[in-house]
Structure 1
Amino acid sequence: MYELDESKYFYLLLLIPVLVAIFLWGEVWKRKKQALFADSSLLQKLSPEKSRFKPVLKFTVIATGLFMLILALVNPKMGTKVEKVKREGIDMVFAVDVSKSMLCEDMAPSRLEKGKQLVSQIINSLGNDRIGIIAYSGSAFPVLPITTDYNSAKMFLQGMNPGMISSQGSNLDEAIQLTEQYFEGSGNTAKVLVMVTDGEDHSERAQESATQARKKGIKIITIGVGTLKGGPIPIRNGNSVSYHKDKETGETVTTKLRPEALEAIAKSAKGGYINGANTKQVVDFIRKSLNNIQKTEFEATELANFQSQFQWFLGFGFFLFFLDIFLLERKTKWVQKLDLFNEKK
């Protein structure tokens, strides 16, 4: 098992063929100039100690040394150590509303982007908890299963958008039901669902689903994004912007935050509701809520501990550059005796 820490430095390998081309051009140029001075047999008599092989050897050593230094910059990591780790925490699923109403810009930069920022900051504040992500609008869609890989979670989070799910609306009850499936293998681990939504277009079954979730030990925390005043839903086409209109009346649709619906859902699942306008307050609210939940120990997990190997490539590269100092272009006596490279001639 291995991974490359800084693979972008592989582009520096393009320097090596450039150096090869320059070296070959230089050798051809030197031979042409020498041919103008005298023929090859006379040149060999004039400089009997000059080796034809040594310049190639010196260049090969330098090019190999440069290759090693580039590999050191890339920093290959090897999974040389596997250890079992036990963690204590809770299982938490983030259900993010990706319906079109979340594109409303009454909360900068938009409700959806603000919601993703909130989830990202909450993840940054977590310790050993396991997390999963669900996207929902007219239906619910699993984005990331329960994991402790926070970096992957934030990466998947940034890619969430209304185009993920074709059916529109805010089907909160289906999101709750999908969350229950996420938690099926969690055993006795404490379970929390954090819903990030404006509360619009929720079905009447959402509160009933929240009650059922509570019976299964799932606590629901709702975060409202948007304002009570609300705003239109933008439709962007290149540089032009229009707004979503009602198909029957032709009037611009105004979408508003529905905190009462979110408060009812949270209350049904013995959780809590908070407005998402202030990021710090939201993070503090979540942290305080989690501190009141008893953490349980997860089963042992095997983790590959990747260790940097750059020092070996760096050391060998410097060794080759140091060796080049002692490689002279004249013939080597002991090599001449072996006659490996026709040095006797």
Structure 2
Amino acid sequence: MWGLDAPFYFYLLLLIPILIAVYLWNTLWKKKKINEFGSGSYLKRLAPEASTTSKPLTKLILLAVVVFALIIALVNPKFGTKIETVKRQGVDIVFAIDVSKSMLAEDMAPNRLGKSKQLATQIINSLASDRIGIVGYAGSAFPMLPITTDYGMAKMYVQDMNTDMVSSMGTALSQAIEVGSNYFDDPKTSKVMILISDGEDHGEGINDAIAIAKDKGIKIITIGVGTPNGGQIPIKQNGKIVDYKKDTDGNNVITKLNETTLKEIAQGTGGIFMYGSNTNEVIQIVDKTLQKIEKTDFESQQIADFQSQFQWFIALALLLLIIDSLVLERRTAWMKKLNLFNEK
């Protein structure tokens, strides 16, 4: 088995035909100038040791091979010496993140949604071999990213979440739990849902959703973002606050953290509730909670142990450069004897 570190360096191979073209042009130019100066036996008497063909061509071949070897060294071919079977162990985790309008409240910096993104990203950074998925929800819930081990992709999806993703108003916690529970299709895996929300629920069916989670063996960790005193929901244009969301009576809406609902969900599924104000504390608690959960064997992977081979090509290039430095433009005695190009 083999592989290449940087195959795009193969484009540099175009330098070799350019090098040959320059050599041909230079050869023709020299020949033209020599013919203008003199010809035949007259030139041989003036420069009897000059090599008109063999030495320049030899140096060209050496230089071309040097360039080729250095390019291959940049590409860094790798050859596999053995194959190892690696088993992954971890937990299936689904992040359910609230993107309702109340998450724009700025009682947590930069706002509740921004804090939720920060929490989710930092938790993902702390994971090792767990599989993760993402669900977004507001007045309804929708799947965003199926179960995967691609943490980079997951963090990108988290950062792209915004309050315009769902047109329906409200916060349907029950739908978030139901949609998230559908991600867990393997009854043998350990299952965790991390629900990040301000807890404001305008839907029904929380008890039914909790029952579904319990039936599937899903522990739900709830993280509350927001404060009990609450905050107003700003309306912004070009990044500046122009007004605040108002109710039907024209009063500014005050949205508050509803920890009661979040605690009910966590306790009903054997999970835990925590405040999301201190990111480091949240990460530590989540990490300790996950460590207590039995890990599941995921799919086995075969990994080839590749060895870099660039050093051989660098060594070849250095050797040829040394040889090139020993090849002079004039004919030497040993080259006369070899007479590789049948020169008279």
For this structure pair, what is the TM-score category when the shorter chain's length is used for normalisation? 0.7 to 0.9
The 1-side partners of 2:336 and 2:90 are apart by 69
Seen in structure 2, the aligned counterparts of structure 1 residues 174 and 318 have a Cα distance that, compared at 3 Å, is: same
Aligned counterpart, 2:335: 333
Q: Which runs of 5 or more structure 1 residues have no equivalent in the other structure?
A: none
% identical equivalent positions? 40
Q: Are the aligned partners of 1:77 and 1:306 in contact in 2 as well (CA < 8 Å)?
A: no
Seen in structure 2, the aligned counterparts of structure 1 residues 335 and 223 have a Cα distance that, compared at 3 Å, is: farther
Aligned counterpart, 1:109: 110
- Aligned counterparts, 1:1-345, within 5 A: 10=8, 17=15, 20=18, 24=22, 28=26, 31=29, 35=33, 38=37, 46=47, 48-50=50-52, 51-72=55-76, 82-185=83-186, 187-228=187-228, 229-237=230-238, 240-243=240-243, 245-246=245-246, 253-293=253-293, 295-305=294-304, 307-309=306-308, 312-327=309-324, 328-330=327-329, 333=335, 337-339=339-341, 344=343
Q: CA deviation at 1:275?
A: 0.7
Q: CA deviation at 1:278?
A: 0.5
Q: CA deviation at 1:196?
A: 1.0
TM-score, normalising length from structure 1? 0.77
The 1-side partners of 2:81 and 2:100 are apart by 45
SS of residue matched to 1:214: helix
SS of residue matched to 2:288: helix
The 1-side partners of 2:199 and 2:219 are apart by 18
Seen in structure 2, the aligned counterparts of structure 1 residues 172 and 315 have a Cα distance that, compared at 3 Å, is: same
Seen in structure 2, the aligned counterparts of structure 1 residues 275 and 18 have a Cα distance that, compared at 3 Å, is: farther
The 2-side partners of 1:323 and 1:25 are apart by 18
The 1-side partners of 2:140 and 2:337 are apart by 77
Seen in structure 2, the aligned counterparts of structure 1 residues 184 and 124 have a Cα distance that, compared at 3 Å, is: same
Q: CA deviation at 1:173?
A: 1.5
Seen in structure 2, the aligned counterparts of structure 1 residues 232 and 68 have a Cα distance that, compared at 3 Å, is: same
Q: Are the aligned partners of 1:68 and 1:314 in contact in 2 as well (CA < 8 Å)?
A: no
The 2-side partners of 1:40 and 1:136 are apart by 89
SS of residue matched to 1:183: coil
- Between structure 1 and structure 2, the one with the greater Rg is 2
Counting matched residue pairs gives 332
Q: CA deviation at 1:265?
A: 2.0
Seen in structure 2, the aligned counterparts of structure 1 residues 277 and 122 have a Cα distance that, compared at 3 Å, is: same
Deviates more, 1:174-183 or 1:320-329: 320-329
Q: CA deviation at 1:308?
A: 5.0
